[in-house]
Amino acid sequence: MLSLPAIDFSTPPDEASLRPPARERFAPRLVRAISGELVSIQDGRKLHLRSIAPNDIESLQRCFLRLSPEDVRRRFLHAMSELPTPMAQRLCQIDSTIETALVLVDETVVPGEIRGVGRIYVDQAADSAEFSVLVEKNWTRLGLGALLMQRLVDDCRHRGLAEIWGYVLLENRPMLDLCKTLGFVRRRMDNEPGVAQITLRLV
Ligand SMILES: CC(C)(COP(=O)(O)OP(=O)(O)OC[C@H]1O[C@@H](n2cnc3c(N)ncnc32)[C@H](O)[C@@H]1OP(=O)(O)O)[C@@H](O)C(=O)NCCC(=O)NCCS
């Protein structure tokens, strides 16, 4: 069993906070398996971290149905009442040359349920990748969002990309705070008043 060396938070913790930061509360432990890794959360729950698979379509749609309208808007930047099957198929059928999609799967239930998703989409011409991330409400504040983001950053570095970036609603404090701890900076978007582009230079 390995502790996670990949998470390197350079920002010091908030000294005024009495609550240990997620990176300490979570301190995920990972076991490498043939088809992914086992993530052990400090509260005893376990998730399987692996690449998304073509047969995750229904699981992804069930995950979507458990999201609040606010979470949907924050993830997709607009309201959606369902994840249509063609879109779910597209999200599960990735082209690994330009995409990575990781899922955190709860296998203590049958069928297994997706509790978190992180993905990047590479723009080869721009030498960068756009990210998105999502963690189901009952599983937030455990360090899983940070884990997914760190894995995506590592993946972009491994691909030799110059930058990873994403759009985040300005009212999405959790995501802005999370990205700040990972070293992302905010760019102004004059044409999209309620949205920030947040970016991490990798070179
Ligand atoms: C944003 C999101 C991914 C965070 O996931 P998470 O698993 O809770 O994140 P973590 O537990 O790793 O939190 C890491 C840090 O993020 C920040 N953060 C996370 N949730 C927060 C909240 N509700 N309020 C304030 N800060 C928060 C904190 O800095 C936190 O560190 P701390 O716990 O030590 O204070 C999750 O809330 C989510 O899926 N939201 C809906 C979709 C979305 O907004 N996606 C982003 C746009 S693509």
pLDDT at 170: 94
Phi and psi torsions of 41, nearest 5°: -90, 150
194 lines ligand 1 (CB under 6 A): no
Query: For all residues of the chain together, what is the average pLDDT?
Result: 87
Question: 28-60, pLDDT tens digit by residue?
Answer: 555 554 578 999 998 899 999 999 999 999 999
List the chain pLDDT tens, one digit each, 203 residues: 333 333 333 333 333 334 556 555 555 555 554 578 999 998 899 999 999 999 999 999 999 999 999 999 999 999 999 999 999 999 999 999 999 999 999 999 999 999 999 999 999 999 999 999 999 999 999 999 999 999 999 999 999 999 999 999 999 999 999 999 999 999 878 888 899 999 999 99
Residue 161 Cα to ligand 1 midpoint, Å, equals 25
| 179 contacts: CB under 8 Å, gap ≥ 6 | 149, 166, 168, 198, 200
Largest CA distance in the chain: 48
- Name which residue sits closest to atom 18 of ligand 1, judged by CA: 174
- Name which residue sits closest to atom 33 of ligand 1, judged by CA: 22
Question: 9-26, pLDDT tens digit by residue?
Answer: 333 333 333 455 655 555
| Pair 136, 66: CB distance under 8 Å | yes
177 lines ligand 1 (CB under 6 A): yes
- Name which residue sits closest to atom 34 of ligand 1, judged by CA: 21
104 lines ligand 1 (CB under 6 A): no
Domain CATH number, residue 74: 3.40.630.30
pLDDT at 5: 37
182 lines ligand 1 (CB under 6 A): no
| Pair 173, 180: CB distance under 8 Å | no
173 lines ligand 1 (CB under 6 A): yes
| Pair 119, 131: CB distance under 8 Å | yes
Q: In a mutational test of the pocket of ligand 1, which residue from 119, 135, 164 has the highest number of ligand atoms less than 8 Å from its CB?
A: 135
166 lines ligand 1 (CB under 6 A): yes
How many structural domains comprise the chain? 1
* CA atoms of 82 and 146, how far apart (whole Å): 26
* Summary count for the chain: helices (H), strands (E): 6, 10
User: Quick one: which atom of ligand 1 is closest to the CA of 142?
Assistant: 11
Residue-number span of the structural domain to which 179 is assigned:
2-201
* CA atoms of 115 and 133, how far apart (whole Å): 11
pLDDT at 13: 34
* CA atoms of 98 and 86, how far apart (whole Å): 20
C-alpha to C-alpha distances, 26 to 3, 50, 157, nearest whole angstrom: 11, 19, 24
